Structure 1
Amino acid sequence: MMMTAGMAANAAPAPDSFADLAERLLPSVVNISTTQTLKNADKGLDMPQFPPGSPFEDFFKNFMDKHGGGNNPDAAPRRATALGSGFIIDPAGLVVTNNHVIADADEITAILQDGQAYKAEIVGRDTKADLALLKINAPTKLPAISFGNSDEMRVGDWVLAIGNPFGMAGSVTAGIISARARDINAGPYDDFLQTDAAINKGNSGGPLLNLKGEVIGINTAIFSPSGGSIGIGFAIPANLAKPVITDLQKYGKARRGWLGVRIQSVTDEIAESLGLKEQRGALVADVSPGGPAAKAGIKKGDVITRFDGRDVSEMHRLPRIVAETPINREAEVVLWRDGKKLTVRAVVGELSDAEETEQAKAAEKPSAKQDAGQTAIAGLGLSVAPLSPALRERYDLGNDAKGVVVTEVKPTGAAADKGVRPGDLIIEVSQEAVKSPADLAAKIDAARKSGRKSVLLLVQSEAGVHFVPLKIDATSSSKKDGGQ
C-alpha cells in the first residue's frame, strides 16, 4: 500500500540506532531492591512429610530447624528480597516507581547505574494508580528525566523501555505502542498504554520513553502465560501519573476529584429505552445525598455525556476524568434527561478513603417462596409483591426500602438473563416511581401498548442500586396470582 504525503509527514522516521538515546537515559534509571522480614511462625518452610520412624524424619527436622523453617519457635526470621525499577525525576533524589514494587518492604535500596546504593524513604504511595514516590539522599545532584505528553503517543510510535529485568541492571529494549486505553482490571483508573517492547519481571516501575527521551509511561504489568515477555506489556500513561506524583510530593497521598454518583454502562437496550441515538456516556444509577452531583441537580437516570469539557465516550472514562479534575473546580456537566440535552454545573469534591473503598454486601439471601397476592409481570419473567413485614425480614430490607419486592424469577425469562433475583427491589420503571405491583404492571402494559421494545427498571440488589433494561413481550399481559 502506498503511503500518502500527509502520512509520511506525520510519521517519525525509524532511527538507525537507539545507542545515543540509551546512553543519555541510562544514568537516570535506578534498580530498586527491597527487603522484607518473614517471621517463621507463619512464613516458614513446610517440612516434608514422612512415615513415623522414617530415618529421614530426624534429618529433615534438624535441617528445617537450622535454616529457619518448620515449627521451631527459636528459629531466626528469614529475609526475602525483591527487585524492581524506578527513575529519577528530580536532581535532589526523587524517584518514581510502582507501589507494588515497594509494598510491605522493611528496607528499600536504590542502586544507580554506577553501582552506588542509597537507602530510599517513601515520600508517598497510591495503591489505586500503583505509583510510589521515593527520596534518596546522594552527595551530588542526580541526572533526572522529565515526563512527556502521553496523549500525543500514537499506535505505532517507537518507544524504549529501560529497567532491571530478572536483576539484570540497565537493560534496554525497544518496541512500539501497540494499543492505547487498555483496561486490564488492575484498578478503577485503568487506561494503560500497551507496548511490544520486552518487559519482564523486574521492569516494573521503570520508564517507557519516546524518541525525545521523555517518560510517556511507567512499566507496570505484562500479559504472559509463562511469566516471561511475549510482547504484551502495559504502562501507566504519563498524563495519568503526573498529577498523582505531584500530589504524593505535596501531600504524601493522591487527592482525587469526587462527583458523588454510582454509574453503569449504557448498553444498546438502555440507549433505546432513553431515546439516545448512540451508545455512549455514563448512566447515573444512584446519587450520594449531599454530594456534588446532588447539589448540582444530577438525578438517577441521567446520562453524563461530557464532563469539564471532555467527552465521556463510555462509562469507564468518567471516573478518570473526575479524578483528574482539580478539587473545588466548578465543572460543566452535559446530561441526557427525558429525551433532551441539558447542562448543569457541579463543584468537584474530594474523594475520601471511605467512598473509594466502599464495598457492597455479599451475603446470600434465603430462597423465595410463593407469596399470596403476588403479581406475575408477564413478558419479563418475574413476579413481585408489595413490601410487608414478612418480606422485609426474609430479605433483610430496611425500613427505608421503597418499591416492590421481586419474589420469583423464571429461569428462562428476560429478568433472569439480566441477573434479577428474588429479594431485589424494583424502585422505578422508565424513571417513574413504582408504588405497588399493580402500578408496575400498569406501567409495563403502557410501555407495551406504546410500541416500546424494552423498559428501564431501577433495581436495588445486593450489588447496590443500578438500572436494568428488560425487553418486553408485545403480546403478554400481567396477572395477579390467586395465592396458591
Structure 2
Amino acid sequence: MKKFSTLLLVSLLSGVVTLGAYKVLFDTNGYFSNERNSGITVASNSYGKRVGLSSEVLDFTDAAEKTIHNVVHVKNVSRRTVSNPILEYFYGYKGGQTQEQVGTGSGVIISEDGYIVTNNHVVKGASEIEITLNNKKTYTAKLIGTDSKMDIALLKIDAKEKLSYTVFANSDSVKVGEWVLAVGNPYNLTSTVTAGIVSAKARDLDTSGIQSFIQTDAAVNPGNSGGALVNTRGELIGINTMISSMTGSYVGYSFAVPSNIARKIIEDLMEFGNVQRGILGVEGGELNGIASKELGIAQTEGFYINKVTQNSGAEKSGLSKGDIIIKLDEQNIATFADLSGYINTKRPNDKIQVTYIRDGKTKIVPVTLSKNEFFSTEFKGIELENIDAADKKKFKIDYGVKIKSITSENLKQYDSELRGNIILSIDNVKATNIEMVSKLLNKKGENQTVRIEMINKNGEIIRVII
C-alpha cells in the first residue's frame, strides 16, 4: 500500500510538471507561442505555398509530354575542301579533299506548318540541315534567316501532316524560383527532359549589352542548344542557348534566350527577312552603390542617362542627361540588361512609356523608338552595315553597304583588304541599304556563290566572287 501511495504521488507530480511546462512554453504568451511578443515573427502552419517534389505538390508529366513531341533533333552537315599547298606549288595540282563535318543540336516546332526555331550556332555554316522528329521521321530543312547577335535561327520543313507545336508564353512574367523544364537532345540522347528553377533573369554575358538571358539550374549539356525551356504548363519561355562551364559540361548554370525576344526575331525574319531593331536613343549605364556615390545621387537602381542621341525618340520626348530610367511600360528597369532585353522585343516606330526620375521626381513620357542607323546583317561570315554621310561624301555615292567586320575563318586572311570596303551591287542588283541586301542574301543558300562589286578604301572598283 505504501508503494502504491508513492507511485501515485510521483504520477501526480509528473502531471503537474508536464502541465506547467506546457503552459510556460506553448500556451498563450508562452515561450514558443505565436502570440509571444519577442520581436521574432513566427509563421503559422498555413503560411505560404506548398513546395516539394512529391506528385501531390508538383507534377511535370503533362508539361514533359506536351514538349517532347515538339522538340526536334537538328543535324548540321557542312563540307569544306582541304587543299595541299605543296602539290599546288610543285605540280599545279588544283584539286582538294572534301571533308564532311557533322554537328547536332535541338530545335522547337513553333507552327503546325513546320517552322522551327533553334540557335544560330547550331546551323552556322551548314551545307545541309536534317530534322528528325520525335516519331523518327526525318526532313530536310530550309534556313529562313538568322540573328547571330541573339543566336537565333529560323528553319522550315515541309511535312505532309500538321505538326504538333509549342505555344509561346510571356517571358516577362516568368519569376525567379519558378519551376522550369529543359527539353532537348544532349549527347544525341533524344527527348531528354530535365527540371530546375529560374535562377535569375536579364543576365548579360557579353560586353555588347544586347543580351538578356534567363538563367536556370536545369541540366543543359552539348546538344541541348536550340531546345525548349518551358514552364510547368508546357509553354515556351526560352530557347536554351549556352552553359557556363570550365569543363564543357553542365555544372549548374545554363542560359536561354527569353521567348519574347525569340518570338520578335522570328516574326521579323518571317515578315522582313531581317531583324528590325529599334533604339531608345540613350547612352549610359546601370546604377549601383559605387556608381550612385560617384554621381552624387541616392538612387541605386535603374539606368542612368549620360548622353541622348541626336534626333532620336528619346531626345524628341525630352529625356536628358541625368535622368534615371526605372520602368519601360510595366517592366521594371534595374540593370542595363533589363533595358536592352525589353527594347529587343520592340521595333522601330513602336511607342513605349518611359518612367524616369529627374530631380527626385518621378515622371512618365511616351517615346517612339527610332530606327537603328547602325543596323547590320551577316552573310558567309561578313558583317555588313549601312554607310553614313561621311562615306557618301568620300566616295561620291548615295547608296551601298559597308563591310563592318569579317568573322569567317576562311576570309580572315583577307580581313585588312575587305574591312571598310563598300559593296555597290550583289549579283548585279544594286545594294541600296542593309534591309534590301538582307532580303536578297536570305534568298541565297550558304553554298551558293554571289558576285559582288565594291569600292575599296582607295576608291578602286573591284569585283569578287564569294
Shorter-chain TM-score bucket reads 0.5 to 0.7
Query: Per-residue displacement from partner, 1:143-170 (whole Å, max 9, x unpaired)?
Result: 1121223344334433222211112222
* Alpha-carbon contact 2:122-2:225 (below 8 Å) kept: yes
The amino acid across from 2:186 in the alignment is P
**2:366 partner SS:** strand
Cα distance change of structure 1 residues 6 and 154 upon mapping to structure 2, 3 Å threshold:
farther
Counterpart in the other structure of 1:473: none
2:192 aligned with 1:171, yes or no?
yes
2:270 aligned with 1:228, yes or no?
no
Cα distance change of structure 1 residues 144 and 293 upon mapping to structure 2, 3 Å threshold:
same
Distance in 1 between the 2:262 and 2:105 partners? 18
Distance in 2 between the 1:283 and 1:245 partners? 31
Cα distance change of structure 1 residues 266 and 27 upon mapping to structure 2, 3 Å threshold:
closer
Instruction: State which of 179, 200, 225 in structure 1 corresponds to 2:221.
Output: 200
Cα distance change of structure 1 residues 331 and 113 upon mapping to structure 2, 3 Å threshold:
closer
Counterpart in the other structure of 1:240: 261
* Alpha-carbon contact 1:34-1:81 (below 8 Å) kept: yes
Alignment of 1:305-384 (within 5 A): 305-337=326-358, 340-354=361-375
By how many angstroms is 1:293 displaced?
Answer: 1.9
Instruction: State which of 232, 235, 241 in structure 2 corresponds to 1:211.
Output: 232
Alignment of 1:435-450 (within 5 A): none
Instruction: State which of 274, 282, 301 in structure 1 corresponds to 2:322.
Output: 301
By how many angstroms is 1:37 displaced?
Answer: 1.6
* Alpha-carbon contact 2:175-2:198 (below 8 Å) kept: yes
Using the TM superposition, name which of 73-82 and 202-211 deviates more.
Answer: 73-82
The amino acid across from 2:160 in the alignment is P
In structure 1, list runs of 5 or more residues that go unmatched.
47-60, 66-70, 360-484
Cα distance change of structure 1 residues 20 and 314 upon mapping to structure 2, 3 Å threshold:
closer
**2:300 partner SS:** coil
Counterpart in the other structure of 1:36: 78
Using the TM superposition, name which of 291-300 and 196-205 deviates more.
Answer: 291-300
Cα distance change of structure 1 residues 309 and 180 upon mapping to structure 2, 3 Å threshold:
closer
TM-score w.r.t. structure 2 length? 0.63
Query: Per-residue displacement from partner, 1:259-318 (whole Å, max 9, x unpaired)?
Result: 222222334455346553221222222222222222223333333333334332233322
Counterpart in the other structure of 2:48: 7
**1:7 partner SS:** coil
Distance in 1 between the 2:176 and 2:221 partners? 21
The amino acid across from 1:8 in the alignment is K
Query: Per-residue displacement from partner, 1:180-215 (whole Å, max 9, x unpaired)?
Result: 333322853333222222211110000012221112
The amino acid across from 1:15 in the alignment is S
Query: Per-residue displacement from partner, 1:101-124 (whole Å, max 9, x unpaired)?
Result: 111212111111222211111222
Alignment of 1:111-190 (within 5 A): 111-185=132-206, 188-190=209-211
Cα distance change of structure 1 residues 180 and 256 upon mapping to structure 2, 3 Å threshold:
same
The amino acid across from 1:166 in the alignment is Y
By how many angstroms is 1:91 displaced?
Answer: 0.8
Using the TM superposition, name which of 224-233 and 296-305 deviates more.
Answer: 296-305
**1:236 partner SS:** strand
Number of aligned positions between the proteins: 333
The amino acid across from 2:200 in the alignment is A
* Alpha-carbon contact 2:209-2:336 (below 8 Å) kept: no
The amino acid across from 1:264 in the alignment is G
By how many angstroms is 1:18 displaced?
Answer: 4.4
* Alpha-carbon contact 2:183-2:228 (below 8 Å) kept: yes
The amino acid across from 1:297 in the alignment is G
Counterpart in the other structure of 1:396: none
Counterpart in the other structure of 1:110: 131
* Alpha-carbon contact 2:202-2:341 (below 8 Å) kept: no
Cα distance change of structure 1 residues 333 and 216 upon mapping to structure 2, 3 Å threshold:
closer
**1:316 partner SS:** helix
* Alpha-carbon contact 2:145-2:273 (below 8 Å) kept: yes
Compare CA radii of gyration and give the structure with the larger one. 2
Distance in 2 between the 1:348 and 1:337 partners? 21
Distance in 2 between the 1:21 and 1:354 partners? 38
Cα distance change of structure 1 residues 260 and 218 upon mapping to structure 2, 3 Å threshold:
same
Distance in 2 between the 1:214 and 1:354 partners? 31
Distance in 1 between the 2:287 and 2:313 partners? 22
2:46 aligned with 1:25, yes or no?
no
* Alpha-carbon contact 1:193-1:237 (below 8 Å) kept: yes
Distance in 2 between the 1:296 and 1:108 partners? 47
Counterpart in the other structure of 2:108: 87
* Alpha-carbon contact 2:228-2:236 (below 8 Å) kept: yes
Cα distance change of structure 1 residues 347 and 160 upon mapping to structure 2, 3 Å threshold:
closer
**1:239 partner SS:** helix
The amino acid across from 2:81 in the alignment is K
By how many angstroms is 1:72 displaced?
Answer: 7.2
Distance in 1 between the 2:299 and 2:157 partners? 52
Q: Tell me which stretches of 4 or more aligned residues in structure 1 moved more than 6 Å.
A: 355-359
Cα distance change of structure 1 residues 284 and 151 upon mapping to structure 2, 3 Å threshold:
closer
* Alpha-carbon contact 1:182-1:193 (below 8 Å) kept: yes
Alignment of 1:259-278 (within 5 A): 259-268=280-289, 270-272=291-293, 276-278=297-299
Distance in 2 between the 1:319 and 1:358 partners? 22
Distance in 2 between the 1:155 and 1:4 partners? 24
Query: Per-residue displacement from partner, 1:211-238 (whole Å, max 9, x unpaired)?
Result: 2111222111111211112232112222
Distance in 1 between the 2:320 and 2:186 partners? 50
The amino acid across from 2:46 in the alignment is A
* Alpha-carbon contact 1:276-1:339 (below 8 Å) kept: no
